[in-house]
Amino acid sequence: MSDLLNLKGKNIVVMGVANERSLAWGVAESLFTAGANVIFTYRKERSLEKLQRTLEKGGHEARMIVQCDVNEDASLHEAFGKIGEEVGIIHGVVHSLAFAHQEDLRNRFVETTRSGYAFAQDTSAYSLIATANEARSYMTEGGSIVTMSYLGAERVVDGYNVMGVAKAALEASVRYLANDLGKENIRVNAISAGAVRTLAAKGVPSFNTILNKIEETAPLKRNVTQEEVADMTIAMLSKLSSGVTGETIYVDAGYHIMG
Ligand code: 1JT
């Protein structure tokens, strides 16, 4: 299998591990298994501590861990500069980041503030474009960029609100980036992950209801796991998907096809 993936010794940047439930962490674990060199970025000191403990617990060693705040151009530039200097070539990037203010997920959508809208867009959608632009300087052998999206991008999921609009922009950005970066042999795709109980899902009042509805409705009659999202992400990073770019791939037990 590892031969088919061709990820052994490849340098892959993973952004967005908050704790061991994070989708990004699932991807990192599969990357370790595939023999890739995993480079992590983190924003908050607290995430770094958790990451280090999680790595230790799993007996994994990061190739590199770098601080990076995607809301700041200088921070992104510096982080990728350090990564490029250390590893030379970047083969893949996993962008698994999103944020919005609590009140924008709690209040009525019509009450979304200008600043809340801008913040969600900046952190959750623009950050992919800025990341791709920094990473491409070191993706000199071509490569693959994968981001995480959610069904709320194209359907109304009650309560997802401003994040849905940000994910719609993210999925459109994936297509424009794919077109622009294709000439550099860099592929760009999104994984639309089904609901998984992560830190991001914490505090979503309707989350249990969402999980139950998926169990009843989805063709597979169950929810998906962090590992299943990770497996498809690995496929999208690997040689197995060399002909695929600009796509949003659903890993949702088939839920999105239902009427
Ligand atoms: C964010 C949050 C991005 C939660 C997210 C997310 N992408 C998926 N989820 C889970 C989710 C959240 C809501 C939801 C359904 C699924 C929270 C912090 C900001 C970034 O609504 C029904 C709100």
Could you count the other beta carbons within 10 Å of the beta carbon of residue 41?
31
Of 45, 172, 194, residue with least CA distance to 121: 172
pLDDT, average across residues 94-121: 96
What's the CA gap between 227 and 166, in Å, rounded?
A: 25
Structure tokens that stand for 51 in this block: 């990451």
Q: Using DSSP, how many helices (H) and how many strands (E) does the chain show?
A: 10, 7
pLDDT, average across residues 16-26: 96
pLDDT, average across residues 176-182: 99
Residue 183 lies inside a defined structural domain of this protein: yes
Element (H, E) at 191: strand 186-193
pLDDT tops 70 at residue 242: yes
100 lines ligand 1 (CB under 6 A): yes
Amino acid 140: pLDDT: 98
163 lines ligand 1 (CB under 6 A): yes
109 lines ligand 1 (CB under 6 A): no
174 lines ligand 1 (CB under 6 A): no
Residue 97 lies inside a defined structural domain of this protein: yes
Amino acid 1: pLDDT: 67
Residue 256 lies inside a defined structural domain of this protein: no
**85 lies in which domain range?**
2-251
Could you count the other beta carbons within 10 Å of the beta carbon of residue 61?
10
Instruction: Kindly give the distance from the C-alpha atom of residue 177 to the centroid of ligand 1, in angstroms, as a whole number.
Output: 24
Provide the annotated active-site residues: 150, 160
Atom of ligand 1 nearest to the CA of 201: 10
Instruction: Kindly give the distance from the C-alpha atom of residue 15 to the centroid of ligand 1, in angstroms, as a whole number.
Output: 17
Contact 131, 175 (CB under 8 A): no
pLDDT tops 90 at residue 3: no
Give percent above pLDDT 90 in the chain.
Answer: 96
pLDDT tops 70 at residue 167: yes
Mean pLDDT of the chain: 97
What's the CA gap between 208 and 216, in Å, rounded?
A: 13
Residue 37 lies inside a defined structural domain of this protein: yes
Atom of ligand 1 nearest to the CA of 98: 20
Residue 127 lies inside a defined structural domain of this protein: yes
Atom of ligand 1 nearest to the CA of 148: 7
Residue 85 lies inside a defined structural domain of this protein: yes
Give me the number of domains the chain comprises. Answer: 1
pLDDT tops 70 at residue 63: yes
Contact 232, 194 (CB under 8 A): no
Contact 166, 100 (CB under 8 A): yes
Q: Report the CATH number at residue 105.
A: 3.40.50.720
> What does the pLDDT look like over 129-159, one tens digit per residue?
999 999 999 999 999 999 999 999 999 999 9
246 lines ligand 1 (CB under 6 A): no
> What does the pLDDT look like over 100-112, one tens digit per residue?
999 999 999 999 9
Residue 95 lies inside a defined structural domain of this protein: yes
pTM: 0.97
Residue 226 lies inside a defined structural domain of this protein: yes
